A and B are shown apart, each in its own frame.
Chain A
Amino acid sequence: MTAVRTGSLAWAWFGLPLLALQSALLFSFVAGGMPVSAYMLRHLGLCLVAAAVAAGWATVAAPADRSRRFAVSLQLLLWMLLGGPFGTAAALALLGPASPAAVPQSADREPPAAAFDRLERLHGAMLDARLRLPDAYRVRPLQDVITTGSQAEKIDALNVISRRYSAAAAPLLKRALADHDGAVRVLAATVLAHQHAVHTNRIGALQARAAATPEAPGGWSELGQAYLAYADSGLLDAARADAERRRGKQLGGTAVEQGSAA
């Protein structure tokens, strides 16, 4: 249930005395001061009085606020009628103005711009060497590891390259292919073959898709981009990369033609 809130504490001047009266009535009944029928009559009477007061409170409100006040009054009466003093207490809690802690305020959050500034400052501090990373000197460039590391280190380095391959790592892979250690050569070849397969499989799939819907320019465009990505992957020799790049551009042209024809 979503309660319509009053938005101010003014109505508590009415709610709190009502709660006190209802509580006194209940205590009197529990202590044996009156029979059930008398208690019920007085309870209903209190509810009627409250309804009259609430209706007056809602009627005197400005037109824009009137419907909200009626909703609050109706909810209060329902709570009172069904729950007696307990209902009134619940209504006071629910219908009162929201506490500042209930809704996160913008003051609790750092504005994105401030977070960005902080990252910038951190980045700047690292660049200026004002902030030092512990043991940073122990991080060796992968190229050093591939050139001078032990077998285990070279395999670890190739593992890193395999997981985060970029064109910049291609010379390292090619260097590892010529390593004196057979196990290093085998792993380098495995990583290289996998990277080739990633590109050729993608090209194959896009080729089939473009052939299936030759009138769609998007298919040719994606295929052209896949060829360009393969050309720029660092995996191919210069002549083959040029050929793939030309093919990629040619397919881009096909995509444009198809787009204009459509």
Chain B
Amino acid sequence: MTTEADVCLIVEGGYPYVLGGVASWMDAYMRASPELRFHVISISIAAQPRVNRYPIADNVVGITDVILDRCRSGRSPGLRSRASIAPATRMMQATLAGVRGPSFGALIDLVRQTRFGQTALLDSKPAWTAMEAVYRQMLPNGPLLDFFWSWRFLARGVLSLITAPLPKARIFHAVSTGYAGLLGAYARHTTGRPYVVTEHGIYTNERRIELAVARWIYDSGASGFGVGTRPPELRDIWLTAFTSFSRIAYEYADAITTQYRANQQYQRLDGAPANKQRIIQNGIDVDAYDDVHRDPAPRPPTVLMIGRIVPIKDIRTFIMAVAHLRTLVPEVIAILIGPEDEDPGYAADCRALVDQLGIAASVRFLGRVPDVKAYLGVADVLALTSISEAQPIALLEAAATGLPAVTTDVGSCREIIEGFADDPVIGRGGFVVEACNPKAVAEALAAILLDEAMRAEMGRVMRRRIPSLYHKSRIKGLYDALYTEVTASTGQPPAREAYRAPPIAAGQASAPRGQLSAMHGPVAGAHPS
């Protein structure tokens, strides 16, 4: 069994296998807290390649993989125990359908008591009969086959989580709701240890958007062009399940944090009690950027973009903006820093777009670079054209060096650039424009590039604002205080007695720290968000 951790971080589809904002935040947070021992539970699907994209910090004592589409087989149903299958299915339905009440906790207890798994609850004849009854209630007008596969994936995911081995930890901390939040709720129910949820983006909003544009979901079309009142569709089953996961996570959590105010409203809409809500921003190592100053040497006006070359960053809009910007600032140079291997097709499309627009002489794709700071000093403005963000680390780091920014109106970009009602630092550090509007991006960039005095003033505002709110030591202090608060409120002494975790199920692997060096290779380069 692994060493007891102080904090067990629970993440879905990210660290250490996928580069991204939340994964980078986790990496930075663990490194900023060397006195704490961390265990990471990484939730993914079987098809996810498990190659480490981050070098594992020394204070990580173990990593446990929980595979959503593989769960333990469990005991076969006997003559007496098969009577429990229908009630368990109803509890599962209540968990997925957002029915208020103790169904999730009851399901955990029933599954632990009966030692059921996939064999009894998904593959048996009584389970099929029970599923048919659920189908008639949840999707009476939809195709049974589609419902069956959706049910199977969702229910198997829940089963996989509530039969997962739990590491020994003083505090469980999920970095999103969804499956990670549900696993945290399971840990809270099972161990009684404090449980914190941190949301960067709002999970239900992200799923709602994904499902709205998903082409793989069958739509009966019964609603035609009508919106509002309509019969239930398959996508509603999924959305209801994700909303329910969030509600359960909020219900079990002792504290719920997010980085900015707008997110709190969404959390309340999904059932987060206001008395549990906190704001804790992302923190960066501000001191590390103190020595970065604008290089006074003559150079062409330079726009920097830092981010993975993926659709959500809307690099195409940036490229189209550069094409427009060339008509306003002909000698401009645009530098893109970020890995292209996550979506090579999109990266190739972006390069093709540069050729198509005839701006190859003005655009440079640098890929991963060993030291982003070297480029922050030789740029005049940062551009961020993302379709969706929470609190982008790249923006905070650039701002810490006094680099003005033009961003889309997503996440907390407006708060960072323009400040907010009680902001101790007055003034704007750049411009916020609407998403998918290359012309607006280009005009804002040109305004900054062509006005040196404004650029300098914006840089000064950014340099003052970042240390006051986003300094990593301040953020670390807020998390320490939060951990102390929730530990005290749950009446949990620092845990020394191990929670006896169930045996590791097939598809769920737990690696002690000693084995990590063999499993986790270093990753060169920076971690663009």
Chains A and B are bound partners? yes
- A residues sitting closer than 8 Å to B (CB atoms) are 138-140, 142, 145, 149, 152-153, 155-160, 162, 177-178, 182-183, 185-194, 196-197, 200-201, 203-204, 207-208, 237, 240
Q: Which residues of B282-336 are within 8 A (CB) of A?
A: 311, 314, 316-317, 320, 324
Give Cα A105 to B209, complex, Å.
53
Q: Is B51 an interface residue (CB 8 A)?
A: no
Q: Decide: B213 and A162 in contact? CB cutoff 8 A.
A: yes
Q: Decide: B356 and A200 in contact? CB cutoff 8 A.
A: yes
Q: Decide: A193 and B227 in contact? CB cutoff 8 A.
A: no
Q: Is B212 an interface residue (CB 8 A)?
A: yes
Q: Decide: B224 and A139 in contact? CB cutoff 8 A.
A: yes
Q: Is B486 an interface residue (CB 8 A)?
A: no
- Other A-B contacts than A162-B212, A187-B208, 9 sampled, CB-CB below 8 A, are A142-B227, A145-B227, A152-B208, A189-B388, A190-B213, A196-B316, A204-B352, A207-B356, A208-B352
Q: Is B435 an interface residue (CB 8 A)?
A: yes
Q: Decide: A193 and B212 in contact? CB cutoff 8 A.
A: no
Q: Decide: A186 and B353 in contact? CB cutoff 8 A.
A: no
- Which residues of the partner chain A approach B434 to less than 8 Å between Cβ atoms? 177-178, 185
The SS class assigned to the A binding surface is: helix
Q: Is B6 an interface residue (CB 8 A)?
A: no
- Which residues of the partner chain B approach A157 to less than 8 Å between Cβ atoms? 227
Q: Decide: A183 and B208 in contact? CB cutoff 8 A.
A: yes
Q: Decide: A189 and B228 in contact? CB cutoff 8 A.
A: no
B386 (CB) vs chain A CBs: closest residue: A189
State the 3 A-B residue pairs at the shortest beta-carbon distance, nearest first.
A189-B435, A156-B227, A183-B205
Give Cα A92 to B314, complex, Å.
76
Give Cα A182 to B205, complex, Å.
9
Q: Which residue of the partner chain, among B228, B320, B387, contacts A153 with CB atoms under 8 Å?
A: B228
Give Cα A157 to B213, complex, Å.
11
Q: Is B397 an interface residue (CB 8 A)?
A: no
- Which residues of the partner chain B approach A155 to less than 8 Å between Cβ atoms? 208-209, 212
Q: Which residues of B256-272 are within 8 A (CB) of A?
A: 262, 266
Q: Is B439 an interface residue (CB 8 A)?
A: yes
Could you give 20 example pairs across A and B, Cβ below 8 Å?
Answer: A140-B226, A140-B227, A145-B227, A152-B208, A156-B227, A177-B434, A177-B436, A183-B209, A185-B434, A186-B205, A186-B209, A188-B436, A189-B388, A190-B213, A190-B387, A191-B213, A193-B311, A200-B356, A204-B352, A204-B356
Q: Decide: B316 and A193 in contact? CB cutoff 8 A.
A: yes
Given A140-B227, A182-B410, A156-B314 contact (CB < 8 Å)? no
Q: Decide: B212 and A156 in contact? CB cutoff 8 A.
A: yes
Give Cα A177 to B352, complex, Å.
27
Give Cα A203 to B349, complex, Å.
11
Q: Is B202 an interface residue (CB 8 A)?
A: yes
Q: Decide: B227 and A183 in contact? CB cutoff 8 A.
A: no
- Tell me, rounded to whole Å, the shortest Cβ–Cβ distance linking A213 to chain B: 18
Q: Which residue of the partner chain, among A138, A162, A178, contacts B226 with CB atoms under 8 Å?
A: A138
Give Cα A199 to B367, complex, Å.
26
- Tell me, rounded to whole Å, the shortest Cβ–Cβ distance linking B449 to chain A: 20
- Tell me, rounded to whole Å, the shortest Cβ–Cβ distance linking B230 to chain A: 8
Give Cα A208 to B314, complex, Å.
23
B409 (CB) vs chain A CBs: closest residue: A185
In this complex, the member of A156, A201, A203 whose beta carbon has the largest number of chain B beta carbons within 10 angstroms is: A156
Q: Which residue of the partner chain, among A149, A178, A183, A197, contacts B349 with CB atoms under 8 Å?
A: A197
- Which residues of the partner chain B approach A192 to less than 8 Å between Cβ atoms? 435-436
Q: Which residue of the partner chain, among B205, B228, B311, contacts A156 with CB atoms under 8 Å?
A: B228
Q: Is B129 an interface residue (CB 8 A)?
A: no
- Tell me, rounded to whole Å, the shortest Cβ–Cβ distance linking A51 to chain B: 61
- B residues sitting closer than 8 Å to A (CB atoms) are 202, 205, 208-209, 212-213, 224-229, 262, 266, 311, 314, 316-317, 320, 324, 349, 352-353, 356, 387-388, 408-411, 434-437, 439
Q: Decide: A158 and B388 in contact? CB cutoff 8 A.
A: no
- Which residues of the partner chain B approach A190 to less than 8 Å between Cβ atoms? 209, 213, 387-388
Given A142-B225, A149-B227, A186-B205, A158-B212 contact (CB < 8 Å)? yes
Give Cα A187 to B409, complex, Å.
13
Q: Decide: B228 and A240 in contact? CB cutoff 8 A.
A: no
- Which residues of the partner chain A approach B409 to less than 8 Å between Cβ atoms? 185
Q: Which residue of the partner chain, among A193, A203, A207, contacts B314 with CB atoms under 8 Å?
A: A193
- Tell me, rounded to whole Å, the shortest Cβ–Cβ distance linking B499 to chain A: 37
Given A177-B435, A204-B356, A186-B388 contact (CB < 8 Å)? yes
Q: Decide: B213 and A159 in contact? CB cutoff 8 A.
A: yes
- Which residues of the partner chain B approach A193 to less than 8 Å between Cβ atoms? 311, 314, 316-317, 387, 435-436
- Tell me, rounded to whole Å, the shortest Cβ–Cβ distance linking A19 to chain B: 54
- Which residues of the partner chain B approach A145 to less than 8 Å between Cβ atoms? 227-228
Give Cα A156 to B224, complex, Å.
11
- Which residues of the partner chain A approach B411 to less than 8 Å between Cβ atoms? 182
Q: Decide: A139 and B226 in contact? CB cutoff 8 A.
A: yes
Give Cα A194 to B312, complex, Å.
11
Give Cα A224 to B266, complex, Å.
46
Give Cα A237 to B434, complex, Å.
14
B228 (CB) vs chain A CBs: closest residue: A153
- Tell me, rounded to whole Å, the shortest Cβ–Cβ distance linking A238 to chain B: 10
Give Cα A115 to B411, complex, Å.
55
- Tell me, rounded to whole Å, the shortest Cβ–Cβ distance linking B178 to chain A: 15
Q: Decide: B410 and A186 in contact? CB cutoff 8 A.
A: yes
- Tell me, rounded to whole Å, the shortest Cβ–Cβ distance linking B279 to chain A: 16
Given A177-B436, A204-B349, A182-B262 contact (CB < 8 Å)? yes
In this complex, the member of A138, A140, A186 whose beta carbon has the largest number of chain B beta carbons within 10 angstroms is: A186
Q: Which residue of the partner chain, among A160, A188, A196, A237, contacts B225 with CB atoms under 8 Å?
A: A160
- Which residues of the partner chain B approach A140 to less than 8 Å between Cβ atoms? 226-228
- Tell me, rounded to whole Å, the shortest Cβ–Cβ distance linking A28 to chain B: 62
Give Cα A197 to B317, complex, Å.
10
- Which residues of the partner chain B approach A183 to less than 8 Å between Cβ atoms? 202, 205, 208-209, 266
- Which residues of the partner chain A approach B262 to less than 8 Å between Cβ atoms? 182
Q: Which residue of the partner chain, among B229, B317, B353, contacts A204 with CB atoms under 8 Å?
A: B353
- Which residues of the partner chain B approach A240 to less than 8 Å between Cβ atoms? 324, 439
- Which residues of the partner chain A approach B213 to less than 8 Å between Cβ atoms? 159, 162, 187, 190-191, 194
- Which residues of the partner chain A approach B353 to less than 8 Å between Cβ atoms? 200, 204
- Which residues of the partner chain B approach A177 to less than 8 Å between Cβ atoms? 434-437
